[in-house]
Structures are given as structure tokens and as C-alpha cells.
Amino acid sequence: MTLIASLPVATEELAGALVEALGASEELDFPTAATTEQPDKSWVVDIYFEEQPDEATLARLVRDVMGDATPPILVAPLPDEDWVAKSLEGLKPVRAGRFMVHGSHDRSKVQPDDVAIEIEAGEAFGTGHHGTTAGCLAEIDRLCSAREFGSILDLGTGTGVLAIAIAKAFGKRVLATDIDPVATRVTHENAVLNGVGALIDAETAEGFGNPVFAAHAPFDLIIANILAGPLIALAGDIVRHLAPDGVVVLSGLLTAQGPAVIAAYEAEGLRLERSGEMEGWLTLTLSR
């Protein structure tokens, strides 16, 4: 169950400082936070947790940034809503490299040279933040245009947008996994919708102990657009399933979370090749 704490903040600068401080907190397992401007020009910072956080630590970190302006902090379960449908409401198409990700309501905006990826509103999370989705798509375009990849893994596939991009633009087969069976079902449906159902193996798998990983490993390319905490926890498993000349693309992390994630993968023998930032979100490319 995902938990959320929503904090009112007076200014954009204060909201940004709070997101950076919380996102870099190892004590809180590097939570994801997002800012939203309100009609009165104030801001709200939403902080997401996979487990109940230590409330004293959370209060201390918020107080360090906000001081006497610290509001009451309530951590509660995230309401059960259709987050993909909400994210598509009024969402403009996401463009990155040759790719355009859009909903059915924006089909008319597809240009002749676009590799269009249509993602229908559904039950799984996966249209993603613009910065993470666009950053990964741009890096996929760069990497797959420069070299051939055999076995490819999209870890934490969500709605399958990244796997579909690889299959549609480069004709490559992709193993797309997620811990959520709804996500893998939606990924399969979206792959069929985009004409690449035969190229994407959507599998529900929690942890690398699942035999589906061994059956496809070693991977020449692993893409993981998830969260900083899981990226750090999975570093060893990801590197063990990587081919000797393989490449890892990581995203779903805030700029402030980059050093901790990079350190975890460098400790496993990888080196940072490229780091890109888009709208406060990082995309990291690493290899042996």
C-alpha cells in the first residue's frame, strides 16, 4: 500500500527545498515527492511512501526546511483512484527523440515521422512524470540507434511504455516485468494496441528469484524506471543479471537522489556513462 503526506508550502522555492531534502533522505528510504501549484499561488508537496515512515524523522526533516512554518503532518493511505486515467486528463503528448507518447484523445497530433505510442487510461501506473518518461525515451533512442542489443529487460514496466518504444522503433523483443499483475495485464493490452504484442513478454515477477529472469539473462540492456529506494536495493541483482558489455538505464529518481543511486551501482562494479536531468528528474546510464 502506498502512503502519502501532503504539506502546504508558501513558495515554490520552499517546496523545491523540501522535495530535495526528503528525496535525499536515506533514513526515509528516499521517498518520492512532487510539487503542485495551487490557485492562490501557494504550493503543496506530496510525499509518497511504500511503508509507514518514522514520523519523528519525517517531522525533523520537514522542520529543518520549514522551521516555524511546519504544518501538521498526517501520513495516510493513498486513495484508491485510477491514477493513469487521472494523469491522462488534459495531459499533453510527451515527446522525446523520435517518440511521442499520447492518449487516444491526441491521435490527431501524431506527425508522419513520429514513433507514436498510444497509452490508454487503465488501472496501472505508468504514464509517469514527464521527466522520467521523456528522459528514458530519449536515452533509449540514443542507445538503440547506436548499437545492437539482444536480451532486453524493462523492470517495473508499469503500462509498458518503454518496452513498447523499444519494440516499435527497433523491432526488438523485450521482457517487461512488474510486481503488480494489473500492470503486466495493462502492458500486454497496450502492446497489442500498439501492434507489438508479439514482441513483448509481460510477466508478473517480484524479485530476481523468479525464474523468468534467469530464462532471459544475461541482459544486454536493463531499463528500470522505478524509485530510488528500490533501485538501490536491487543494485546487486541487476548487475548480476547484466551481460559483460551490458548497459543499465535508471530513472524515477530525483536529482538529489542521484549520488546515492550512483554509489550503489559503482559499488557493484559499474561506472556512470551519462547523466541527464529533465524537470528535476534524473536518467542515469551505467555500464561495466
Point out the annotated binding site for S-adenosyl-L-methionine.
Answer: 133, 156, 178, 225
Question: Can you tell me which residue has the cell 492562490?
Answer: 40
- Residue 228: exposed, middle, or buried by beta-carbon count in 10 A (0-12, 13-18, 19+)? buried
The b/e string for 152-183 (b: 16+ C-beta within 10 A; e otherwise) is bbbbbbbbbbbbbbbbbbbebbbbbbbebeeb
Point out the annotated binding site.
Answer: 133, 156, 178, 225
Q: Which residues contact 198 (CB under 8 A, 6 or more apart)?
A: none
Helix ranges (H only) for 151-197 are 161-170, 181-193
CB contact at 8 A, 222 and 177:
no
CA 79, CA 164: separation in Å to the nearest integer?
29
Of 47, 38, 88, the residue nearest 65 (C-alpha): 47
CA 126, CA 226: separation in Å to the nearest integer?
10
CA 7, CA 16: separation in Å to the nearest integer?
12
